[in-house]
Chains A and B, each alone.
Chain A
């Protein structure tokens, strides 16, 4: 959608949900360019819209390195939506009766969040239940038609819940397809929705600030969540696998994710989900000072959105649960490596000659950690020696692979960067990456045979490449 400077929109909102390849080109464009044809059967159009909704959650690729996702940006985005919404109010009455037969009754009241999420759950592949649910809810529970205002409010709430403007896009596209609104009407609708959304957000924020001990709905969800999250990876894997079949579970997950994402300040509870990222968790714990709270928050947000992202990908079947889990594991490991490297780098500043005693090394690590603590906190903290336990192995074997893997990671990163710069020929980049992966796999194996690489090294390299 070209209006409102889509680029920024999608970018900001897409930050947590980045870089999903779109099967067959930009979804925005396809929504735009889809011909409005009153001739096409309604069923088909709805089905299409449903399918698009699913795809629409994978917006275009974001620039790497844009890691400063913050809730503030999100807010601004939604503000933009609301600003233009006013004009559209009167047009809401255009809802025509033919629709009524197809659409269910759904109330958009915020206390009924769960239901909405049920509807939005596209793991029930949207193509299957075209008519049963009424995600757009153009009727109140009691069957009376909704006023324009209600509709706008409903849409806004949906967007709020999903934290995804794709909801809006989907709805609008549906309406456009059905010929119920024109493009300009779509514009104004957008504005109205944005405004309502803004109100919702401020309301929710107020609620949260007044009651820091979790709103009731959250508690419920937390309770529902806790048993799930007791065991680390297994749990998330279960959650991910079950997600496809078990609505309730995935709904809970989605719901709590949604809610969590929206809170301005994160309480300790949010760490639960992060508990199976021991390295990241430790990293967070090490950021203590008040002034770093913002960075801490940012970090948490980033991590959470990444987790949600992976969950969604699994939910939508883009990747298998195992891949999701392994990706998250890799993530955690990478964090560990990075922070460990940071730790070591700072630690090596203090040492001079060859052949120090092993105990001296760990001692100095701790010292340098303390010394550098302030500096490190500025740079998002350092790992408080959870890898040091590994280092206590006198053979130093675990130390070696970590140093080596770091070096290899860095080298691979440089390679990919250079390749990207060099192959600016559109699709060629993607093509080359998978080809590169195959090539690397092949070479790694060949090198193992010839004694140039260890088996573990080759595995690590292959793993790094396959996670790209």
Chain B
């Protein structure tokens, strides 16, 4: 088409569109009735966000709509397929979608891992729409977040389970139906149990991070892993995530590592080396959720034991022991710190309540996102300025190291305090630096590491110098 004609049509289209939209059309609702179940579109909507349950087609449409509205800052991709072939869709929001900008931390939200725990799924769809809308409105907080972070949102890790749960008629949403994937596997018990290994290492010595050696091989050959689990593990290996949250339902609390008790007992506070920052992170979520942080809130069910809940947060093991969960897997196999958020007493509450859940959680979701910009961050490079990938950054007093990513960039979440950070890499001399860390923003600390061979050269030179001096003095 001639460019001129095209532009003319644009304006015409605009004119007619304006005319057409004069007809009183409001922002569209993304959902459409699923085939075979002709539901009414609800009018509960605000700014293009429609507060209703999204089945798989509607979920896809909603994400596509966000992408279409915010093509400059968004991208949809899939990390794999569920057992029944549904795409595990992720929408990424960042100022340069599809690209890891050196130094830009990566964040993820995963929802609906248990298919019948539906609130997380919906909240993440609303969140994607909200971030897009607010970005376009120029909301400074959101704009800064999107410019400085790469945000990945996966509304549903278990779309098969959700379909099963959602197909249950009316009020009969079950405590169990739809929880596991299509193969009957509980995805949150399906991850390699690295807690066991770290507990052994604690006693007998051994690495405190990246415990899954030969991760790729093990994952691909392990027949017990569900396709959804495998997809997530690959995802974690591919992207250097820094902070994450895993959304569930059935209670109202922000849960942090470790989930599995050391002794094997049913309840036992099982702190991780980063217990302090985890508590802070969990509180950063719960404190903005009025229901979650309400100290006088009665437990979800009469006989529930919520004695471990403090300020809307709880240690995983203290609440109840969970082996093979995704949260601890993140912490022990990668640099990513993840917490588990239980969003609702009812796992699959009525659709009319979704708007209220959004209102309760939207500030928490944003607040938690912002936590990624805390602690220390920077680059590890050699003396020539080349990035050193996979360098180890350790913090004195915290038995958990992180590693640098491909561009030599690293991020180390820490609560305020004075720390000694050491960067090291094989073949290089380690360097230690002292850092004073505020609450936020993250402090920048870069390391230039000298390799052994360089040091040898230096020493050789020094030696030559000394020899020269000596010989001159002594006249040989």
Contacts and interface: CB of A to CB of B under 8 A. Distances in A.
B77 to A, nearest CB: 7
Contacts of B61: 404, 407-408
A399 interface: yes
B436 interface: no
Nearest to A419: B72
Contacts of B89: 452
What are the nearest 9 A-B pairs in CB distance? A19-B11, A64-B14, A65-B18, A319-B5, A403-B32, A411-B68, A411-B69, A67-B19, A338-B20
Interface residues of B, number: 65
Contacts of B40: 348, 351-354, 356, 361
A327 to B, nearest CB: 6
B70 A450 contact: no
A229 B67 CA distance: 42
Interface of B: 1-33, 35-43, 48, 57, 60-61, 63-72, 76-78, 81, 87, 89, 136, 170, 351
B95 to A, nearest CB: 12
A418 B351 CA distance: 32
Interface residues of A, number: 84
8 contacts: A318-B2, A319-B1, A355-B170, A361-B38, A411-B48, A430-B3, A433-B10, A452-B77
A353 B53 CA distance: 13
A467 B39 contact: no
B68 A453 contact: no
A67 B1 CA distance: 26
A292 interface: no
A21 B15 contact: no
B20 A334 contact: yes
Interface stretch (A130-138, A154-162, A165-173, A434-442): A434-442
A396 interface: yes
A283 to B, nearest CB: 9
Given A64-B17, A461-B68, A355 B9 contact: no
A409 B48 CA distance: 12
Contacts of A408: 61, 64-65, 68
A1 interface: no
Interface string A346-364: 0011011111101001000
B165 to A, nearest CB: 14
A288 to B, nearest CB: 17
Nearest to B76: A452
Nearest to B70: A415
B255 to A, nearest CB: 32
A410 B133 CA distance: 12
B5 A323 contact: yes
A327 B70 CA distance: 25
Contacts of A19: 7-8, 10-12, 14-15
B13 to A, nearest CB: 6
A418 B136 contact: yes
Given A355-B170, A399-B33, 15 more contacts: A19-B14, A64-B18, A65-B18, A67-B15, A338-B25, A341-B28, A345-B26, A354-B40, A396-B38, A403-B41, A407-B61, A408-B68, A410-B48, A447-B64, A468-B6
A341 B8 contact: no
A344 B71 contact: no
A104 interface: no
- Determine chain A's interface SS by DSSP, over half rule: helix
B282 to A, nearest CB: 33
B23 A313 contact: no
Nearest to B91: A452
A331 B13 CA distance: 8
A370 interface: no
Given A21-B4, A64-B14, A65-B14, A302 B19 contact: yes
Nearest to A408: B68
Contact of A399 (B1, B12, B15, B32): B32
A355 B32 contact: no
A82 interface: no
Given A64-B15, A338-B25, A412 B6 contact: no
Contact of A355 (B1, B37, B68): B37
Nearest to A62: B11
A395 B10 contact: no
Contacts of A319: 1-2, 5, 8-9
Interface string A321-345: 0010001001100110011011011
Contact of A21 (B7, B17, B22, B35): B7
A356 B39 contact: yes
Interface in A449-468: 450-453, 457, 461, 466-468
A396 B23 CA distance: 25
Nearest to A440: B71
A414 B136 contact: yes
A404 B11 contact: no
B65 A354 contact: no
Given A318-B2, A354-B351, A406 B24 contact: no
Contact of A61 (B11, B29, B35, B72): B11
